[in-house]
Structure 1
Amino acid sequence: MSTPDTDTAPFADGSPLPDAAGLTPPRHRLSTRIILLSLASLLVVLTMIAGTLWLSWKLEGAGAAINDAGSLRMRANRVAIELALSATGQPGARNDQIQALDDTLAQLRKGNPVRPLFLPDEPAIHAQLDHVLHDWQQRLRPLAQAGNGAAYVRALPDFVAQADRLVVLIEHDSARKTDLLRLSQAGLAAIACVGTVAVIYLLYLWIILPVLRLQDGLRRMAAREFTLRLPVETRDEFGTLNAGFNRMADELQDLYQDLAARVASKTAELERQNRDLETLYDMAAFLNQARDAEAMARGFLQRVMRLFDADGGSVRVMDAQHGKLHLLASSGLPATLAEADNCMAVDACHCGDATHEGVVAIADLRKTARRPLLAQPSPCTREGFTAMAAFRIESQRGAIGTFVLHFRAPRELPASDRQLLETLAQHLGIALEHLRLSASARQLAVVEERNLVAQGLHDSIAQGLNFLNLQVQLLSDAVGRDDLAEARELVPMLRHGVEESYQDVRELLNNFRSRLTPGELRPAVEETVERFRRQCRTEAKLVIDDRGNNLPLQPEQQLQVLFILQEALSNVRKHAMAAHVTVSLSHGHDFRLVVEDDGEGFDPAELGHDNDVHVGLNIMRERAARLGARLAIEARPAQGTRIELVLPRGGQAARAERHSTAGQALPRPTQESLR
């Protein structure tokens, strides 16, 4: 789109230019000035060149005129010669010479632009030519035509003198024009030099200087000198650029000031977020440490109070059944306030309100009436606390308590601090719930283990003691009857029963003392089978396939497998009456334990009707269930028994993952996974 060249052209933003009375004088646009300067320079150069060409053309014509004027003397002398030859009777070319001289004079008078040939425009030269022409036509030519050679010769010197004078005049004029040509050339060179300097200076003023100013402005702007403004001194394109630069500087200054404020705000926000993340990390690390609830709550309070400059704090747990809040830990509270609030109703104060509202933050307790109908101040106010903030502690079961921060000076908590405190309260709730669940899990584990111990005692020692009790009664009856023969029969049975019970006690003690770490299952299995060989005459064979490349079982898994193996071998020793027993252990895709004997066996249908007799099998089933394994029992009367325990690979990984999340490292897979 074309732009106007007038001095009233507006700036790029549409704002009008100042008039002549303003700070900026009216000027043409830069493009107009450059065009005018170029045209003026071209006009001057062309004028000077045209002048020199004209002078050279005139000099060339004058040179030809000098030649022709000089030839008048020669032609006049030739005419005299021809006249002399005619007088002696020799033929001549008199008329030709006369005609040639006439032609020369005519050409000098009229000129010939083609040659070129013309006389200078000087009156004296033309007057002298007229005098020469008159002398020729009036005196010499008639004498030459009449053949009067003597008279012609007498008049010839005067004609030659007049022709010489004409030549001299033309030469003088040519010399003057030559000087003028040289002067013009010198002037042209001077004008070229001065014009070049002038053009360079004007271009410097019009283009280079504004560009340098603009470049310097950009450099200073890049150095964040946003207060810089360029002077708008012209109405040309650079004036528009300077005005646009100033507007850009205004906008950049505003943007930079706003950006600085935003950067400061974002920096403060990032610092706060980093502080919050660090606080959450430290708090999570502290809460994950194994400790009791009271110590956890006290450490939690100390860290939160130190972070928020609180003067006091408390953690209360809720008794939902009785609607009470019990003080778990406190810090910085007067003894009277801590004792008074040791057990309080949920709806008795702001602390209890947090269990329903989530957050209760009061910047100034003196301006807030908890109970409008009561004129007495709250206990916190009586103890000198003027601000408080209560937050609900919750878990998956819902609200389980509150924690409160007390301040002696009015304090307004921003939204970010409230959010952080709410998150910390959730962390505390999760940690307390974890402690509760851990305690429940430990209690459940103790109950389960006690159940297994009770079952083991019932299956081994209790039955042995019952047998001994019966034998002792029979012995008592035999002694009462003085039946020594029967007494002698009963004593070995009593001794055997006592030894059997002693072996059962030793076996139970060995089971209870068993402690395994990853990689110790194979030695434990070998020791168990070797102990079985020492306890009875049944031939025991152990087959272990350790060619697998799987994760070794975790210590808890290994212990349960060992207990099942011990229980199976104990049943073989006590009930199977077997000659051979084979224990096979493999850890391929799945973990597999097989105990197979050739003893008396039993009817599997009886297992559901006589659980007391087969307590050992029930114990094995319970341990297999705790492992997440499959336990298969195959038996037939008089055909032996086969017990197979299979722990799928997925169950191994799940148990390993639970073990790793409990804080213990997973063992590396090795070729010795069963050892």
Structure 2
Amino acid sequence: MNFFKHSIIARLGVAMFAISLMALISMISSVIVAESTQGDAAGINLAGSLRMMSYRIVAQTQQYEASGNLQVQQRAAESIAEFDKRIRSRVLANVIPDRGDHELQKHYQAIIDEWQHSLAPALREVVKSGHGSGDYPQRVDQFVPKIDAMVQLLERSTESKIKLLSLVQGISLFMTVLIIFIAMYDIKCNVVEPLAQLLMAAKEASQGKLDARVYYQSEDELGVLGATFNHMAEELSKIYTDLENRVQRKTAELRSTNQSLQLLYDTTRRFNRDDEDICRRLIPVMKQLEELTPIGPVNVTLRDPNQRRSYRQLNTQLLERPANCTDHSCNDCLIDKLDQRPHETLSLPIQTREAYFGEFNADFLADQPPSREQIKLMKTIVENLGVVLSLELKAEQAQQMSLMEERAVIARELHDSLAQSLSYLKMQVSRLQLLRKKQVSEEQIDGVVDELKDGLNNAYRQLRELLTTFRLSLDQPGLEPALQTTVKEFSERLGLPVALHYGIRHQTLSPNEEIHVLQLVREALANVVKHSQASEVSVQLKQNGGQIEVRIEDNGVGLPDDKDLTNHYGLVIMRDRAHTLGGDLSVQNRAEGGVCVLMTFSAKQQ
């Protein structure tokens, strides 16, 4: 039973087998009944002919008694023999049941007994002797109804066989129809409806409705298929839900990461605004950090990197404006009410390898601590702040060193040029005073006055050159435009064109290196104007990898062989600039005449 319960195919196979069996039973019963009724008609006809022959024998016997005709006698004897043959015929015996207790068998035996022992001997006696007992017609009349009764029994026996065949066929037909009905009902309930549910659920699933289910429950194939489909749909629904949750989490993480990147971008952009106060740069970043993370307020303490002394306090949540606030239009740090709930504090140092700049303190609620990524974000911002403060400190120190170097250069140039001229003028004034006290001639006094005038003109010229040098700046980006302007200026002063060959890649030199190169070129060209008497002057800048070569050449009178140039203030200044750049300077006479000033150094900015 469990096998049929678990298999639709088995049930349908049983139904087909039952239908085939009913058809086979019907056919076999038809064959059996047909076989059993074979010869019944001949037997009934034969039995019916016995009745006619009975009357004919009686008629022939009576005719023979009346006429004594031998032919009639012969026909009567033949009729009696024929009757005896027919009543014992195998055709009639075959349609009589063999069972001794059968009514037809009893009736048939009674007819035979009566014919053999009573009626047949009497008729033969009459035919043989020509006379006999005169009651045989009455006896034949009594015998014929018995034959009729046997014929009726034979007919009823045949009819009963036919009725039995009809009954068997009717039962077979009924069972066949019943089996077909049961099979169709089973197909409808256990095949058609489950398939319809599976088809509908499959269509809904193909449309993305993963909540579709098959409600057919059974242990057969379609039941297993429906349960498997439900399990599959449930698993797919779980997977889809899990994917949606993961997508939402990833989206939230990407959104948070994007906000963090935007915050880092804003942080970098704001921190690099060195023209603004640190409060204007830092407070908006800290407020944005409070919106992105569960922290607040944020307090930043800035300290002197040399003395560790606090010089500035910045807080994102204050009830009153700080005393050191100079921008009264800014209200970024002011709020209406402070959060009185207990807080915990995350403290991060603002430092680099070289210096310590203060502390970054962020408060947060105990039940809402920042995540690891948020703490990492805060550390990154604090590191950027430390780097910015370190760069500003280094820039300030570099500016101070540059200022000190420029002041030293100015002092040295003033000492080597204008101070010497003024000392000479002072000596000439003292000489003039002595001459006036000695009351020398006017010609000598006029000579001293002329020397004073020449000294004053020379000092004034030197002063103008120094002012031009000190006011030098790079108004246009890059060294080449400044050199072109310088070459144009000295071409006008020399009265001849100065050739410029610029062979340095873009943005190779730093601004400090460009200033020193430009000052050195100007100093060299100024010496050409003062001393060379040249007709050809050229300025060349070459680059070989990271090595820079600056060459200023002229075809003038050259340097005197007997003059010591060690303490010449112009050469001293150029050597100092070469030393500042970490390079070498050489000033030598050219073989073809004139002077070559060559400076080589390695560029720090590549």
Shorter-chain TM-score: what band?
Answer: 0.5 to 0.7
How far residue 578 of structure 1 moved from its aligned partner, in angstroms, is 4.0
Between the aligned partners of 2:16 and 2:191, the Cα distance in structure 1 is 15
Between the aligned partners of 1:545 and 1:624, the Cα distance in structure 2 is 20
Distance 1:411 1:603, change over 3 A: farther
Q: Give 2:262's aligned residue.
A: 278
Between the aligned partners of 2:543 and 2:375, the Cα distance in structure 1 is 55
Decide which of 443, 454, 465 is 2:400's aligned counterpart.
443
Between the aligned partners of 1:220 and 1:604, the Cα distance in structure 2 is 109
What does 1:478-489 align with in structure 2 at a 5 Å threshold?
Answer: 478-481=435-438, 482-489=440-447
1:429-458 deviation per Cα after TM superposition (whole angstroms, max 9, x unaligned): 222222222222222222232233233323
Q: Which amino acid aligns with 2:232?
A: M
**Correspondence 1:242 to 2:235:** no
Asked whether the equivalents of residues 316 and 401 of structure 1 are also in contact (C-alpha less than 8 Å), the reply is yes
**Correspondence 1:315 to 2:300:** yes
Asked whether the equivalents of residues 232 and 239 of structure 1 are also in contact (C-alpha less than 8 Å), the reply is yes
**Count of matched residue pairs:** 466
**Correspondence 1:30 to 2:8:** yes
What does 1:459-478 align with in structure 2 at a 5 Å threshold?
Answer: 459-478=416-435
1:502-540 deviation per Cα after TM superposition (whole angstroms, max 9, x unaligned): 222222222324434245245314323224315xxxxx5
Between the aligned partners of 1:34 and 1:383, the Cα distance in structure 2 is 79
Between the aligned partners of 1:390 and 1:331, the Cα distance in structure 2 is 15
Distance 1:635 1:388, change over 3 A: farther
Decide which of 447, 452, 460 is 1:502's aligned counterpart.
460
Distance 1:560 1:473, change over 3 A: same
Between the aligned partners of 1:48 and 1:498, the Cα distance in structure 2 is 154
How far residue 400 of structure 1 moved from its aligned partner, in angstroms, is 2.5
Asked whether the equivalents of residues 391 and 422 of structure 1 are also in contact (C-alpha less than 8 Å), the reply is no
How far residue 47 of structure 1 moved from its aligned partner, in angstroms, is 10
**Correspondence 1:393 to 2:349:** yes
Between the aligned partners of 1:305 and 1:124, the Cα distance in structure 2 is 117
Distance 1:302 1:244, change over 3 A: closer
Name the stretch that deviates more: 554-563 or 273-282.
Answer: 554-563
Asked whether the equivalents of residues 528 and 554 of structure 2 are also in contact (C-alpha less than 8 Å), the reply is no
How far residue 126 of structure 1 moved from its aligned partner, in angstroms, is 10
Once superposed, what is the RMSD of the aligned Cα atoms?
Answer: 5.4
Distance 1:594 1:199, change over 3 A: farther
What does 1:181-260 align with in structure 2 at a 5 Å threshold?
Answer: 206-207=190-191, 209-221=193-205, 228-255=212-239
TM value normalised by structure 1: 0.55
Name the stretch that deviates more: 496-505 or 472-481.
Answer: 472-481
Asked whether the equivalents of residues 524 and 552 of structure 2 are also in contact (C-alpha less than 8 Å), the reply is no
Q: Which amino acid aligns with 1:282?
A: D
How far residue 567 of structure 1 moved from its aligned partner, in angstroms, is 0.4
Q: Give 2:596's aligned residue.
A: 642
Between the aligned partners of 1:249 and 1:437, the Cα distance in structure 2 is 67
What does 1:21-420 align with in structure 2 at a 5 Å threshold?
Answer: 27-33=5-11, 35-36=13-14, 124=41, 206-207=190-191, 209-221=193-205, 228-255=212-239, 261-290=245-274, 291-304=276-289, 312-318=297-303, 324-333=309-318, 386-396=342-352, 397=354, 399-405=356-362, 412-416=368-372, 417-420=374-377
Distance 1:232 1:36, change over 3 A: same
Between the aligned partners of 2:517 and 2:305, the Cα distance in structure 1 is 43
1:238-269 deviation per Cα after TM superposition (whole angstroms, max 9, x unaligned): 22222223333444455555555555544444
Q: Give 2:489's aligned residue.
A: 528
Between the aligned partners of 2:6 and 2:413, the Cα distance in structure 1 is 114
Between the aligned partners of 1:220 and 1:250, the Cα distance in structure 2 is 14
Between the aligned partners of 1:312 and 1:248, the Cα distance in structure 2 is 52
SS at match of 1:234: coil
Q: Which amino acid aligns with 2:5?
A: R
Distance 1:616 1:202, change over 3 A: farther
Larger Rg over CA atoms: 2
SS at match of 1:478: helix
SS at match of 1:561: helix
How far residue 324 of structure 1 moved from its aligned partner, in angstroms, is 4.8
Q: Give 2:86's aligned residue.
A: none
Q: Which amino acid aligns with 1:413?
A: P
TM value normalised by structure 2: 0.60
Distance 1:334 1:126, change over 3 A: closer
1:304-333 deviation per Cα after TM superposition (whole angstroms, max 9, x unaligned): 456668775532124577665444334544
Structure 2: which 5+ runs fail to align? 47-175, 324-337
**Correspondence 1:585 to 2:540:** yes
How far residue 642 of structure 1 moved from its aligned partner, in angstroms, is 0.8
